Structure 1
Amino acid sequence: MTTSAALRATLVEQLTADGTLTDPAWRRAAEAVPRELFLSEYFQEVPGSNPTGYRAVHADSPGWLEAIYTNQTLITQLSGNTRPGDARGRTVTGAPSSSSTLPSLVLGMWQQLEVRSGQRVLEIGTGTGYSTCLGAHRLGDQNIVSVEVDPGVAERAEAAIKAAGYAPALVVGDGLDGHAEGGPYDRLIATCAIRYLPHPWLYQVKPGGKILATLSGWSYGFALVLLTVTGPGRASGRFLPGYTSFMMARPHTPPPRQSITLAPGDQRPSRIDPAVLGTWTGSWVAQLGAPSAERMGAGGQQILLDVATGSQARSEPDGNGGWTITQRGPLRLWDQVESAVVQWQERGCPHQEAFGLTVTEHGQRVWLGGEDGPGWDLPV
């Protein structure tokens, strides 16, 4: 029988070989922290199910330990309340609401944070506690403060962290408020996606300190940004290479909506191929242009919807190789998206690492190329 230590060593070797683990200190943390302590149970997708179904995997299930030491995200909660223990022996559905993120992303982000020994870190989103323990191993318990919004998730994480032999400061609360009592901090790392930088973070991290967070929105485009705090309430930095996504922070999720009724509206030809909205960076650029819109559809048939105003936009083939856009409502959603995408395309469709973010007390602006380039305000 393969042991946890052997599986862990193999995973660490794989992450080192593929260039994920480059810092010896973080390699030692990955070798030391047993991931299975944080994953006594988890969900796996049922292949081919529609809507997506999940089956529970427990410590007595075949392959339980082996899956933990593969480089994959393992879901630990659905729809904010369903745990694997609630679904033993049956298939369930729901939206993932808590997970243990794939190890390569967790360790990669810790390295991207550029943290040094002796520095204090505020972690937003304790989750299972695995990432928290990696940080505690590297920096010491006294230098880690981790905040979790879900009391049940926080309770299970606390037990697992204690079982692993670590004792960082754990807080139950809204991570978007940070944790001023434990500050100031040298670094902040967020394991949830946000629509904009919460103001408390910008005051709780020291000037010269760094914030690593994933920006997203209601169309679910994602981009990872590393900011340097330049003063109270101010920061600037650039987006990073790669492809990072997280579940949205619960206060930043879209408002509830009813079933969609596609209504008539004004029509015109599209200047862009709607399929670009389904690409990694294209979806994110479109989201910058229309931050209040939710995006649905695929390929050349896209739907944009703004719940607050009832504004709609949709694309459909015109039969001649182009696309017809139908818009209605006070917001011309496709106009907004199209303008942003065209500016991006005119500069060669670069990945998000060509973009940056400047935060001041007056607003938060994403820019392309440089601060004097095209830009879009975040919905603060």
Structure 2
Amino acid sequence: MSTPAELRASLADRLTENGALTEREWQSAARAVPRELFVGTHFAPVTGSVPTSYRPVREGEPGWLEGIYDDRTLVTQLDGRIGPEDTAGEAVTGIPSSSSTLPSVVLRMWQQLDAEAGHRVLEIGTGTGYSTALGAHRLGDANLTSVEYDPTVGAAAAAAIRTAGFSPRLIVGDGLRGDPDGGRYDRLIATCSVRYIPLPWLHQVKPGGRILVTLSGWSSANALALLDVTGPGEATGRFLTDQTSFMIARPHDRPPRPTLDLLPGDESPTFIDPATLDSWTGGWVAQLAAPAAVRTGVGARQILWDLSTGSQARTAPGPGGGWTVTQRGPVRLWDRVERAVRCWQAAGEPHQDGFGITVSAAAQRVWLGTEDGPGWDLPV
């Protein structure tokens, strides 16, 4: 049986070989930080269960330690309140609300942030504390502040971080407000996703500093953005190629919704294949066009439901070929989506790295190609 140190070294070697881990200092962090301290117990999805159910994985089970050093996300909380220790060992259903993200993603993001020794860094979303410990190893305890929204999650992370031998500044509070004491940071990294860039971040990162964050929304499409802060409350940046997703910050999550009743509406043809929305970037473009909508369905049968107005749109195969769309309500959801998708298609369907973002106190705009190109406002 391999020791934890051997498993850490093996993981670091694999991540180096596949290109996820390229910098010596972060390789050292990956070899030093014991992930098992942060995810000693966790949930494993039950294969084939619908809806997905999760089985608690206990410390010491056969394959437990080896599983921790797989490059995979480990769920540690469901529904904002259920941990593995809260079950009697049976599988349970729920929505993941806290996790330890794939080590490859965590380490790649730390490298993309371009944080160096001496930089002061604000981390939004302590989570299990594994990412925080990696950052503390590389940057030093005094240079890292991490904010966690959930008090239970934050307390567990603090204990694990101390056990691992690190002592960064840890805060329990609303990370969307940044550091409650203010501060001037060189870098900000978010391990949760947001619908838009919170303005406090733009005032707490110095001009010339950087923010790395995943933008998401109520249709669960994601895009990773690296922004340069250009002045107080202002930033500009580009989206990266990585297909990165995080749980959305709880204050930005969609509100509770009643059961959807599909109601009659106006039917017309649509000139885009609805299955385009199933692609990573296609779904994200649709979310930009209809940010208050939830998207369900697959292939030719897509459903959009605007949570602010109740407007609906649903697509279906046309009787003679092609597709039809039925729309209802004050917002013509599919018209907005179709215009955005056709604009993206006319540009050659670039990946997300073909898009950029400009943020100011007045608006937050995602644009295609260049800053003066077509764009969409985020729902600030």
Tell me the TM-score range normalised by the shorter chain. over 0.9
Q: Which amino acid aligns with 1:115?
A: A
Number of the residue aligned with 1:362: 362
Number of the residue aligned with 2:79: 79
Number of the residue aligned with 1:223: 223
Number of the residue aligned with 2:118: 118
Per the TM alignment, residue 199 of structure 1 is displaced from its structure 2 partner at its CA by: 0.6
Aligned-pair Cα RMSD in Å: 0.7
Partners of 1:187 and 1:258 in 2: how far apart?
A: 40
Q: How does 1:1-380 map to 2 (within 5 A)?
A: 1-181=1-181, 183-380=183-380
Give % identity. 64
Partners of 2:60 and 2:69 in 1: how far apart?
A: 16
Partners of 1:100 and 1:88 in 2: how far apart?
A: 22
Partners of 2:275 and 2:147 in 1: how far apart?
A: 38
1:217/1:291 contact within 8 Å kept? yes
Per the TM alignment, residue 87 of structure 1 is displaced from its structure 2 partner at its CA by: 1.9
What SS class does the counterpart of residue 295 from structure 1 fall into?
strand
What SS class does the counterpart of residue 61 from structure 1 fall into?
coil
Aligned residues: 380
Partners of 1:6 and 1:287 in 2: how far apart?
A: 43
What SS class does the counterpart of residue 131 from structure 1 fall into?
helix
Q: Which amino acid aligns with 1:234?
A: E
What SS class does the counterpart of residue 264 from structure 1 fall into?
coil
Per the TM alignment, residue 319 of structure 1 is displaced from its structure 2 partner at its CA by: 2.4
Per the TM alignment, residue 132 of structure 1 is displaced from its structure 2 partner at its CA by: 0.2
Per the TM alignment, residue 182 of structure 1 is displaced from its structure 2 partner at its CA by: 5.5
Partners of 2:180 and 2:359 in 1: how far apart?
A: 20
Q: What TM-score, normalized by structure 2, do the two folds share?
A: 0.99
Partners of 1:236 and 1:315 in 2: how far apart?
A: 36
Structure 1, unpaired ranges of 5+: none
What SS class does the counterpart of residue 303 from structure 1 fall into?
strand
Partners of 1:77 and 1:242 in 2: how far apart?
A: 25
Q: Which amino acid aligns with 2:142?
A: Q
Runs of 4+ in 1 over 4 A off after TM superposition: none
Q: Which amino acid aligns with 2:208?
A: G
Per the TM alignment, residue 61 of structure 1 is displaced from its structure 2 partner at its CA by: 1.5
Partners of 2:186 and 2:311 in 1: how far apart?
A: 43
Partners of 1:271 and 1:219 in 2: how far apart?
A: 21
1:145/1:182 contact within 8 Å kept? no
1:124/1:146 contact within 8 Å kept? yes
Partners of 2:93 and 2:183 in 1: how far apart?
A: 40
Per the TM alignment, residue 180 of structure 1 is displaced from its structure 2 partner at its CA by: 4.5
Partners of 1:218 and 1:28 in 2: how far apart?
A: 38
Partners of 2:351 and 2:259 in 1: how far apart?
A: 34
1:215/1:223 contact within 8 Å kept? yes
Per the TM alignment, residue 320 of structure 1 is displaced from its structure 2 partner at its CA by: 2.3
Per the TM alignment, residue 88 of structure 1 is displaced from its structure 2 partner at its CA by: 3.5
1:194-218: CA deviation from partner (whole Å, max 9, x where unpaired): 0000010000000000000000111
1:11/1:71 contact within 8 Å kept? yes
Partners of 1:34 and 1:182 in 2: how far apart?
A: 31
Structure 2, unpaired ranges of 5+: none
Name whichever of 280-289 and 85-94 sits farther off. 85-94
Q: Which amino acid aligns with 2:265?
A: G
